[in-house]
Structure 1
Amino acid sequence: MLTYENPIIPGFYPDPSVCRVGEDYYLVNSSFEFFPGVPLWHSRDLLHWEQLGYVLTRESQLPLEKARTSGGIYAPTIRYHDGRFYMITTNVTGGGNFFVWTDDIHGEWSEPIYIDQAGIDPSLFWDDDGTVYYTGTHTDENGNFGIGMFLVDLETGARLGETKVIWYGTGGKCPEGPHLYKINGWYYLMIAEGGTEYGHMETIARSRSVWGPYESCPHNPILTHRNTFQSDFQALGHADLVDDPDGKWWLVFHAIRPSMFMLHHIGRETMLAPVTWDEDGWPVVYGGKLIESPMQTQGDGDVRVEINWRDDFSAPEPAPRWSWLRNPDRACYTFGHGLTLRGAADTLDDIGAPTFLGVRQQQFAVRYQTSMQLSGETGRAGLTIFHTAEHHYDLYAQRQGGGCTVQLFRRVADMETRTESVIFADTDTLILRIDADRHMYTFFAGVDEAHLVKIGTGSTQLLSTECMNCTFTGCFSGMFAEGNCTARFDYFAASSLGNVETE
């Protein structure tokens, strides 16, 4: 049997969409207010994923100035047709629905081609005759939510006809995330319903005509954990189907891992499950069983997701794992022989572009560590656990005389706390560390690894999505600088804390 771990891409990588070209698979995720936009992944087996980079790498493709928390990029779809890749998505705070294309998956993508259509979660489908259909969320003339469809011109983005609602779903709220497929003469329309919270689910319908009427699958939803707490995973949905070269079918989707009852802070993560087809031609996900980790299916091997890594910032650009908040001021960042950050007026509390570079938290039990050299008398810099501008924990240092003072700042909605200052005399260089488990972040600082001082703690509960107002992102760990200061980071390392994971 083949054994593999879910999630296959851990951390805040939601709304996965996948396509196959020969023996190669390509996958994209939502990125919201973080830049660059739309993480782009490659795999040869659906289990080992390498991030190639991002689809949206230029500000002209992805304007995010003043994008609100959980604004920006929603639910991309990636498709391949006739030698060209297409990615279609919605910038909900900067232009609406658009697509970009490339003939070289390792190269640059085009400038956006916008589509005059309201709603979110767009997808593209090519029929056998080459006709291209757009599907996405739509509100009909009576105010009912459903999945709308129209023909689209890929040269101009123009709609070729009126938008028609082809399915309203099974009755769950927020019918969204549509993907259309043609399999064995049937048009299958798969969507997400129930909202992206604990009632999330995936449903499917089919028709002999692309325009419908669409018949609902008799065993809908085909994927959900809405009625069980006997699983490590909740809020399953927003899926995409793909077949492999051997004719087997698979489903990518997202789910959350609660840290405790009804709370999660890492975000929605990319998952994988095998799909079979019943005698009536309907898909069955993982034999109808609950999604778990590890998963077992036909094949051989044992695949585990690696979490340990270190970045010395030796390249002139950040590695693909790193993200900025909104469109960055590149003058504040210097890469090569470490990372130098220059403080800016915007802080992590602002809906702006603070000097920040972060990575998605991918496990509950993880250690983040860096060595920082600080100059400048009035600014501050350090490490942060960042979820939103209203919810973050900042371990920061400030210069004082010939040394540094270190504090932990905790921002939770309208509550702010600071620990007492810890003084490190006669040094401008500090080791900063964050240790995380399911329930707590613990923050340390010191002149070397053997003499670290505990600065304070912060509860993961208070950085959970359920404690915020309609947010769709997950926690980041990263480096930041604010005000009149310069901070040089020699490295940033992430390492698993192993057995703490299940505590």
Structure 2
Amino acid sequence: MPGFHADPTICRVGDDYYLAHSSFEYFPGAPIWHSRDLVNWTRIGHILTRRSQFVRGDGRASTGLYAGTLRHHDGRFWYVTTNVSDYDGGQVLVSATDAAGPWSEPIRIQDAIGIDPDLAWDVDGTCYLTWKGMSFTEGEVGILQAPLDINTGALLEPPYPVWQGSGLAAVEAPHLYQVDDTWYLLLAEGGTERGHAVTIARAPHPRGPFEGHPHNPLLTRRSSIHPVQNAGHMDLTTKADGAWAAVYLGVRVQGSTPGFHVLGRETFLAGIEWSDGWPAVIEDQFEVPTAATSFNDNFVGEELDGRWVVPGGEAQSTASMSPDDGLRIAAAGTRGEGSVGQLCTRITDLRWRAEATIEGSGTFRVLMDPRHWYGLCVKGDAVTATARIGDLQHDVGVASVSPHLVTVRIEAVSPAGPTVPLGHAGPDDIVLSVLNEEGGTIEIARLDGRYLSTEVASGFTGRMLAVGADGTDACIKRVTYHSDEARS
């Protein structure tokens, strides 16, 4: 699942598989997908689509929805997650009879403070909530568990500790499974950076006592030359034929040391085989086809395509569509609370080209967060290229254009120079251009892509493509996106 699709969680119902992800400050939240074969996926919507389900908070980058767990039990889908923008409210639990929604109003699990909640039921119908207890001000507590009343959100016992992992830092992301008469607890350890790892333990009961796998970690890429690094945060599913599979997150690193990943944490697929009562990861079991990532959006119809999300706000207060006028984006704050003046979609390729046709004025950006972006601003008879890196913002070039309809282009291309020690190449170069009336391209700026990477910007999200308004309302006639992976 290319692009910013972190913290995967998966479940199967008959021959159908469902996959969901964390989405942080972006709304609607928790994108959800459907597949019949585990390798071809169709987005069927988002789980949290109403503000009553997902408190906004202050909209800061990498807040909002963290990792969750998707399960199916007794004829209903259940999804539990953490909204760190409402951290003291505990975990958020919603359910639905159809994975495409609508999903219920949330049940709050107020006595479970922390992140990464998991749900598992035993044969008697008892639901166990397992999560990472922690505080952003007081630090980590560890992996906790308690039986849960799913109808009220009440814990039926005081939380108690279970297995705390193999001894690595940042133990998190618990998932609990029953296989025959044995319970397995899967964890992520080592932090979600290069030391990320998956570990597992087993016990005769959900509470333990747990015995760690003698050959932990189950999966890690640390200190390897594998093209996918930071591998961890795994979830398991049975297949329709009785076999097992796993989804996990990883990143694709490029450029000079220490390496830069720009698309955020992506989702990968592996097989699982069992031996002597333990699972083993078979990394290359599946033939995964190349995802179709290109699109051409003319903003025709009554609703935005599901690819478009809003950071820290809502689409209905930020943008509107008209068959004659295209996409209208309100300047930040002009439509009240929830209007942020920017509409985003995930970038899904390492090499890509995108264009936006703007009537009057508007912006087109590639961004990691509000403090790290490169963009083009169309206003009157000029197109200005701007770079924002941390606390520094600078106009780096300008081109004259004929006003009215202007098409601007952003590209991610291979870096022009070599890597360290012969050069300083980042993961890519970002090229900002405008198309002239003859169909040619005027390059305004070429910038080092490392400054739009997680290694520089920090946080948990990835690059987004954004159209927006700058001071006054914008009219966007068209946005196109094309993969140029063959050029990488």
Same fold (TM over 0.5): yes
- SS at 1:462 equivalent: helix
State the partner residue of 1:245: 240
For residues 17-166 of structure 1, what are the structure 2 equivalents within 5 Å? 17-94=9-86, 95-116=89-110, 117-138=112-133, 145-166=141-162
Is the 2:358–2:378 contact (alpha carbons within 8 Å) kept by the matching residues of 1?
A: no
State the partner residue of 2:218: 222
Give, as a single letter, the amino acid of the residue that structure 2 aligns with 1:173: A
State the partner residue of 2:416: none
Is the 1:382–1:432 contact (alpha carbons within 8 Å) kept by the matching residues of 2?
A: no
Give, as a single letter, the amino acid of the residue that structure 1 aligns with 2:261: H
State the partner residue of 1:461: 450
Give, as a single letter, the amino acid of the residue that structure 2 aligns with 1:440: D
1:396-445 deviation digits (Å, cap 9, x = unpaired) = 1112xxxx2111111000111102321113x2111111111341110111
State the partner residue of 2:294: 308
Q: Which residue, out of 496, 499, 502, partners 2:483? A: 496
2:435 paired with 1:443: no
Q: Which residue, out of 272, 275, 289, partners 1:275? A: 272
Is the 1:433–1:443 contact (alpha carbons within 8 Å) kept by the matching residues of 2?
A: yes
Change (3 A) 1:139 1:329: closer
State the partner residue of 1:479: 467
Report the CA distance between 1:268 and its aligned residue. 0.2
Distance in 2, matches of 1:498 and 1:69, equals 28
Distance in 1, matches of 2:469 and 2:38, equals 38
Give, as a single letter, the amino acid of the residue that structure 2 aligns with 1:111: E
State the partner residue of 1:4: none
Distance in 1, matches of 2:241 and 2:16, equals 13
For residues 339-418 of structure 1, what are the structure 2 equivalents within 5 Å? 339-345=326-332, 353-374=339-360, 380-399=361-380, 404-418=381-395
Change (3 A) 1:448 1:274: farther
Is the 2:201–2:210 contact (alpha carbons within 8 Å) kept by the matching residues of 1?
A: yes
Give, as a single letter, the amino acid of the residue that structure 1 aligns with 2:441: L
Distance in 1, matches of 2:54 and 2:139, equals 30
Is the 1:431–1:448 contact (alpha carbons within 8 Å) kept by the matching residues of 2?
A: no
Report the CA distance between 1:331 and its aligned residue. 4.2
Distance in 2, matches of 1:178 and 1:452, equals 50
Distance in 2, matches of 1:430 and 1:144, equals 51
Distance in 2, matches of 1:276 and 1:394, equals 47
1:258-302 deviation digits (Å, cap 9, x = unpaired) = 122321111000100011111x1111101xxxx5xxx454xxx76
State the partner residue of 2:189: 193
State the partner residue of 1:285: 281
1:48-104 deviation digits (Å, cap 9, x = unpaired) = 010101000011111214132100000011000011011100000124311111112
Q: Give aligned pairs, total.
A: 465
Change (3 A) 1:210 1:245: same
Give, as a single letter, the amino acid of the residue that structure 2 aligns with 1:431: T
Distance in 2, matches of 1:307 and 1:490, equals 20
Distance in 1, matches of 2:261 and 2:317, equals 35
- SS at 1:264 equivalent: coil
Give, as a single letter, the amino acid of the residue that structure 1 aligns with 2:76: R
Q: Which residue, out of 409, 416, 422, partners 2:399? A: 422
Distance in 1, matches of 2:139 and 2:486, equals 51
Change (3 A) 1:332 1:227: closer
Report the CA distance between 1:497 and its aligned residue. 1.6
Deviates more, 1:382-391 or 1:258-267: 258-267
Distance in 1, matches of 2:134 and 2:466, equals 40
Distance in 2, matches of 1:144 and 1:34, equals 26
- SS at 2:451 equivalent: helix
- SS at 2:469 equivalent: strand
Deviates more, 1:309-318 or 1:212-221: 309-318
Distance in 2, matches of 1:302 and 1:200, equals 23
- SS at 1:466 equivalent: helix
Is the 2:59–2:313 contact (alpha carbons within 8 Å) kept by the matching residues of 1?
A: no
Give, as a single letter, the amino acid of the residue that structure 2 aligns with 1:390: R
- SS at 2:114 equivalent: coil
Report the CA distance between 1:139 and its aligned residue. 5.4
Distance in 1, matches of 2:285 and 2:102, equals 37
Is the 1:431–1:449 contact (alpha carbons within 8 Å) kept by the matching residues of 2?
A: no
- SS at 1:60 equivalent: helix
Distance in 2, matches of 1:143 and 1:466, equals 23
State the partner residue of 2:407: 431
State the partner residue of 1:5: none
Distance in 2, matches of 1:153 and 1:182, equals 19
1:138-184 deviation digits (Å, cap 9, x = unpaired) = 259x9864211001111110110110111110011111110000002
1:323-367 deviation digits (Å, cap 9, x = unpaired) = 1111226244122436323342459xxx97521111111111111
Is the 2:236–2:244 contact (alpha carbons within 8 Å) kept by the matching residues of 1?
A: yes
Q: CA RMSD of the aligned region, Å?
A: 2.0
Is the 1:276–1:284 contact (alpha carbons within 8 Å) kept by the matching residues of 2?
A: yes
Is the 2:362–2:476 contact (alpha carbons within 8 Å) kept by the matching residues of 1?
A: no
Q: Which residue, out of 253, 256, 260, partners 1:258? A: 253
Report the CA distance between 1:314 and its aligned residue. 1.3
Q: TM-score, normalised by structure 2?
A: 0.91
Is the 2:270–2:285 contact (alpha carbons within 8 Å) kept by the matching residues of 1?
A: no
Give, as a single letter, the amino acid of the residue that structure 2 aligns with 1:209: H
Percent identity among equivalent residues? 37
Distance in 2, matches of 1:270 and 1:302, equals 12
Report the CA distance between 1:196 and its aligned residue. 0.6
Distance in 1, matches of 2:384 and 2:355, equals 16
1:95-123 deviation digits (Å, cap 9, x = unpaired) = 43111111122231111111121110001
Which ranges of structure 2 fall in alignment gaps of 5 or more residues?
414-426
